[in-house]
Amino acid sequence: MKPICAGGRIPNLATAQEYIDAVTEAGFRAAGSHDLTDRVRRTWSIAIRRFVQRLFQERRYRYFLFDRTIRNRVFAFTVVRIWLAYQIGTIRYRIFRFDKK
């Protein structure tokens, strides 16, 4: 997960239990959650496909990807890591519901 966090400019990805513990510590009670991973997983394959298509169609995409002076180009590579993490279940997309104690 460290390469995904670094490349995606994400300071931290916690586990579901870590989120529940933090919010519980803040005075709330876990009231349920819903896993939406199956509904969002496709997003990343669509993003990759569109980016690859644009690499062949538009010069500015190739410039962005191969210009070493552009710091954010690392995200293009991170998208593949995110896609893979969704495929193998390392990343889940979940909505939590909490009630005030």
Question: pLDDT per residue over 10-62, tens digit each?
Answer: 888 889 999 999 999 999 999 999 999 999 999 999 999 998 898 899 898 88
Q: Is 12 exposed, middle or buried (0-12, 13-18, 19+ CB in 10 A)?
A: exposed
If one counts the domains in the chain, the total is: 1
Give the separation between CA 46 and CA 85, rounded to whole angstroms. 15
pTM listed for this prediction = 0.76
The pLDDT confidence band at residue 96, using thresholds 50, 70 and 90, is very high
Taking the alpha carbons at both ends of the chain, their separation in whole angstroms is 33
Domain that holds residue 57: 2-100
29 within 8 A of 98, measured Cβ to Cβ: yes
Give the separation between CA 83 and CA 45, rounded to whole angstroms. 6
